[in-house]
Amino acid sequence: MRVIAFIALAWLLQSVFGFLQIRHFNHEYAKLRKLGRVVIGKRTARVQAGTVVMFAIDGKNRITAAKKMQGLTVFSRIRQLKGFDGKYFPALTEEEISTADRLTQIAIRDALNSYHILSKGGELQQKKSLSDMLPLRRKKKTG
């Protein structure tokens, strides 16, 4: 009985802290949105730290603010991403990107890729989630 109560409490706490993390992310996104368009890049992982970067860009595609959230837990918070303000976003160089840690570099490249696809009128492809890969979710072929 104690094990079940512990698991239920852990799940409840994770849900609450996850909600607070999402609320914090949305608040920071809204602040960036007031500065202009926002480009988001991510580096997701199941076991390693995940990273999300957000760049606010003005009408001339200059970075007006850069932020990132990185970590393994629901306690990760958004922080400043230094060294990018004022740079021309579509032409960020590998030298400029390499000033960040490896996981952040991957997220920045993802943001650049998303920017280039959308600026050409394309659509971003959604990656399959774990639940999409489960056999129960597969659609039956008709015909």
- pLDDT bin (cut points 50, 70, 90) of residue 131 is low
Question: How do residues 44-98 score in pLDDT, each as one tens digit?
Answer: 877 778 899 999 999 999 999 999 998 877 778 889 999 999 999 999 999 999 9
The pLDDT score that the predictor gives to residue 77 is 86
Half-sphere exposure of residue 37, counting CA atoms within 13 Å on the CB side? 12
User: Mean pLDDT across the stretch 8-34?
Assistant: 91
Residue 137 in this model has a pLDDT that exceeds 90:
no
Q: Looking at the whole model, is its pTM more than 0.85?
A: no
Residue 141 in this model has a pLDDT that exceeds 80:
no
- pLDDT bin (cut points 50, 70, 90) of residue 118 is confident
Distances from the Cα of 55 to the Cα of 24, 31, 90, 121, angstroms:
16, 11, 11, 20
If one counts every other C-beta atom within 10 angstroms of the C-beta of residue 37, the result is: 16
Average pLDDT, the chain: 87
- Say how far apart CA 42 and CA 112 lie, in whole Å: 11
The pLDDT score that the predictor gives to residue 75 is 77
Structural domains in the chain, CATH included, are: 2-124 (3.90.1010)
Residue 143 in this model has a pLDDT that exceeds 60:
no
Q: Which residue has the tokens 């390693």?
A: 48
Give the rounded percent of residues in the chain with a pLDDT score beyond 70: 90
Interior/surface letters 61-90, b for 16+ CB within 10 angstroms, e for the rest: bebbbbbbbbeeeeebebeebeebeebebe
Residue 30 in this model has a pLDDT that exceeds 80:
yes
